[in-house]
Amino acid sequence: MHGGNADRRLHALLRHLEGANPTDSGDRSVSFAPTSGYSGASVFDHVVRAPEDPILGVTVAYNKDPSPVKLNLGVGAYRTEEGKPLVLNVVRKAEQILVNDRSRVKEYLPITGLSEFNKLSAKLILGAESPAIQENRVTTVQCLSGTGSLRVGAEFLAQHYHQHTIYIPQPTWGNHPKIFNLAGLSVKTYRYYDPATRGLNFQGLLEDLGSAPTGAIVLLHACAHNPTGVDPTPDQWENIRRLMRSKALLPFFDSAYQGFASGNLDADAQPIRMFVKDGGECLVAQSYAKNMGLYGERVGALSIVCRNADVASRVESQLKLVIRPMFSNPPIHGASIVATILKDRNMFREWTIELKAMADRIIHMRKLLFDALRSRGTPGDWSHIVKQIGMFTYTGLDSKQVAFMTKEYHIYMTSDGRISMAGLSSRTVPHLADAIHAAVTQATV
Ligand code: LMR
């Protein structure tokens, strides 16, 4: 049974090992304990340490700080007045319903995700009466929150759209250029923020989009622009729409804060609805991280509004080819929570009330911080704190001042001077105001 060939191969292997290991004692019980083959340099020795992420890395630094007064205003994540993360009541209720439902299973979702969730998400962002939905010319796929939706959309555009240049606002969320670059698009910027007025550089925006090549993709923040908190007015949006449509620029909306800016879901979706109403095409990335507090569930959607139903269904077939090798199919739990809330009239209402309370608390924090700086006589015009909208205030503090506030006051924020208003409470506003006052009057770090 035991062939001589097999024996010969075994002996050859043993001889080879012997040769490879000069300290071998000759004991043929063949031990594969560490031999000289493993003692050399790592095959990854050339790998250099990467810098921490400019936003999520702030939390890493914050976690290491033992100070009892430390304050994390880096990442955009909502906190209560007590400084704690918030799970919405309506989310807890939905989870209870899901747990109690014994008919629910944990099977794979289709590549495009939970179909009920997709339909409800499209309605939420485009409006229940949207003709585009009624005409079946919207395809919606469930993705991994806003980031995943942007990435899937970008990969699709890189493969199937004739223009590979995307214009992103200057400044924008730090992850945007990386997402689009990695997908193979070429990233250019358009002027957006004017440091002098701490408002919109509308003229610059129109000029830059006006000189963009025909058909270029344009990333637009649907509301609550991150990091500046500066949004165009409805009239300005209308001008942007006209200009973009006249040059066949393709809008790609990032909607990470629907309901979080004004406290009203429909109002915050208006810019997108304006573009859909004119019959043109666009892409929309939606996230439920902030407005439902589902940060870690990674639940979001990509909708592509097409010219007609036939195009939409072909586009969807190609989106499946993008998703399958990327993450196969999306996770079921977060999408089920969202669908449970969106399809039930009472739970939906309850959600809007909790959402408005979060938005209102942030607006209140703006007022408290503004008043605190005024009462300290802090040099400068701080009215932008109350004028800006959404989760963030773009303070105008520079990286030196930010470093000073972190060192002296244990306040953590991104180095561009952005602070997450959602991380503040009435208790911590005075500490922040003291820090800003000191940074503006004496920062020398
Ligand atoms: C932020 O800008 O803080 C959030 O969008 C969280 C993130 O992933 O960066």
Output the CA 55–ligand 1 centroid distance in Å: 6
Lookup: tokens for 236: 């300005």
8 A C-beta contact, residue 113 and residue 335? yes
Topology (CATH level 3) of domain 108-343 = Aspartate Aminotransferase; domain 2 (3.40.640)
- Catalytic annotation on 254? yes
Residue minimizing CA distance to atom 1 of ligand 1: 76
Query: Which regions of the chain are under pLDDT 50?
Result: 1-3, 21-27, 29
Could you tell me how many residues make up the chain? Answer: 445
Q: Which helix (H) or strand (E) holds 139?
A: strand 138-143
The pLDDT value recorded for residue 25 is 45
The pLDDT value recorded for residue 286 is 98
Output the CA 57–ligand 1 centroid distance in Å: 11
The pLDDT value recorded for residue 10 is 67
8 A C-beta contact, residue 21 and residue 27? no
The tens digit of pLDDT for each residue in 362-371 reads: 999 999 999 9
The pLDDT value recorded for residue 123 is 98
Q: Can you point out the beta strands (E) in 207-332?
A: 217-221, 250-255, 282-287, 300-305
- Catalytic annotation on 173? yes
Which atom of ligand 1 is closest in space to residue 414's alpha carbon? 3
Could you give the 3-state DSSP secondary structure of residue 220? strand
Q: Can you point out the beta strands (E) in 177-278?
A: 186-191, 193-194, 199-200, 217-221, 250-255
The single residue of 93, 208, 231, 254 carrying the catalytic annotation is 254
The tens digit of pLDDT for each residue in 385-402 reads: 999 999 999 999 999 999
In 3D space, the residue among 295, 357, 431, 350 whose CA is nearest the CA of residue 80 turns out to be 357
Which atom of ligand 1 is closest in space to residue 256's alpha carbon? 5
8 A C-beta contact, residue 286 and residue 303? yes
The pLDDT value recorded for residue 33 is 52
Domains 56-86+358-442 and 108-343 share a fold: no
Topology (CATH level 3) of domain 56-86+358-442 = Aspartate Aminotransferase, domain 1 (3.90.1150)
Q: Which residue has the tokens 């939420």?
A: 124
CA distances from 79 to 172, 211, 246 (A): 23, 42, 43
The pLDDT value recorded for residue 35 is 52
Lookup: tokens for 184: 């193979």
Ligand 1 shell residues, CB under 6 Å = 55, 75-76, 173, 175, 226
What is the bridge-based pairing of β-strands 250-255 and 217-221?
parallel
Parse the chain into domains and list their residue ranges.
56-86+358-442, 108-343
Which atom of ligand 1 is closest in space to residue 74's alpha carbon? 3
The single residue of 290, 382, 416, 434 carrying the catalytic annotation is 290
> What is the chain's mean pLDDT, rounded?
93
Q: For the chain, how big is the Rg over CA atoms in Å?
A: 27
- Catalytic annotation on 398? no
In 3D space, the residue among 240, 278, 272, 242 whose CA is nearest the CA of residue 256 turns out to be 272
In 3D space, the residue among 355, 322, 116, 154 whose CA is nearest the CA of residue 254 turns out to be 154
- pTM score: 0.90
The pair phi, psi for residue 40, each rounded to 5°, is: -80, -165
